[in-house]
Amino acid sequence: MDLVTLWFWLIALTFTLYFFLEGFDFGVDLLRPMLARTEPEERALTGTIGPFWDGNEVWVIAAAGLMFSTFPVWYGAVFSGMYPLFVLILLALLLRGVSFEYRNQVDSARWRAFWDWMSFGGSLVPSFLWGVIMAKLIEGLPVDGDGRVEGGFAAMFSPFSLVGGATTLLLFMLHGANFLLLRLHTDTVLYDRARRAALRWGALATVAIVAFVVMGYVTEDLFEDFGVVPWAFPVAAFLTLASIWLALSRRRDTLAFTMSGLTVLFATVTVFIALFTRGEVLPSTLDPDFGLTLRETASQHYTLVLMTWVGAIFLPLIIGYQIWNYYVFRERVRPDEGALNHGY
- pLDDT tens string 135-151: 999 888 888 877 778 87
Q: What is the pLDDT of residue 196?
A: 92
Q: What is the pLDDT of residue 51?
A: 86
Residue 15 clears pLDDT 50, i.e. is over it = yes
- Write down the domain spans for the chain: 3-139+151-281+288-329
- Average pLDDT of 115-121? 92
| pLDDT band (50, 70, 90) for residue 226 | low
Residue 189 clears pLDDT 60, i.e. is over it = yes
In terms of average pLDDT, the best of 34-48, 101-115, 169-183, 323-337 is 169-183
Contact 213, 233 (CB under 8 A): yes
Contact 78, 322 (CB under 8 A): no
What's the CA gap between 134 and 99, in Å, rounded? 27
**How far is CA 286 from each of CA 82, 143, 149, 176, 315, rounded to the nearest angstrom?**
16, 6, 10, 39, 38
Alpha helices (runs of H) in the chain, residue ranges in sequence order: 3-35, 39-49, 53-56, 58-70, 72-81, 83-102, 109-139, 159-183, 189-219, 232-249, 253-278, 294-297, 301-328, 338-341
Residue 339 clears pLDDT 50, i.e. is over it = no
What's the CA gap between 96 and 306, in Å, rounded? 35
Residue 1 clears pLDDT 70, i.e. is over it = no
Higher pLDDT, 128 or 293: 128
pTM value is 0.91
Q: What is the pLDDT of residue 337?
A: 53
| pLDDT band (50, 70, 90) for residue 50 | confident
| pLDDT band (50, 70, 90) for residue 70 | very high
Q: Please tell me the least confidently modeled range out of 82-91, 169-178, 259-268.
A: 259-268
| pLDDT band (50, 70, 90) for residue 229 | low
What's the CA gap between 138 and 285, in Å, rounded? 11
Q: What is the pLDDT of residues 236-292, one digit of tens each?
A: 767 887 788 888 888 899 999 999 998 898 888 888 888 888 888 888 888 888 888
Contact 256, 178 (CB under 8 A): yes
C-alpha 177 chain-centroid distance = 15
Q: What is the mean pLDDT of the chain?
A: 87
Residue 222 clears pLDDT 80, i.e. is over it = no
Phi and psi torsions of 108, nearest 5°: -145, 130
- Average pLDDT of 172-196? 92
- The class (CATH top level) of 3-139+151-281+288-329 is mainly alpha
What's the CA gap between 63 and 162, in Å, rounded? 23
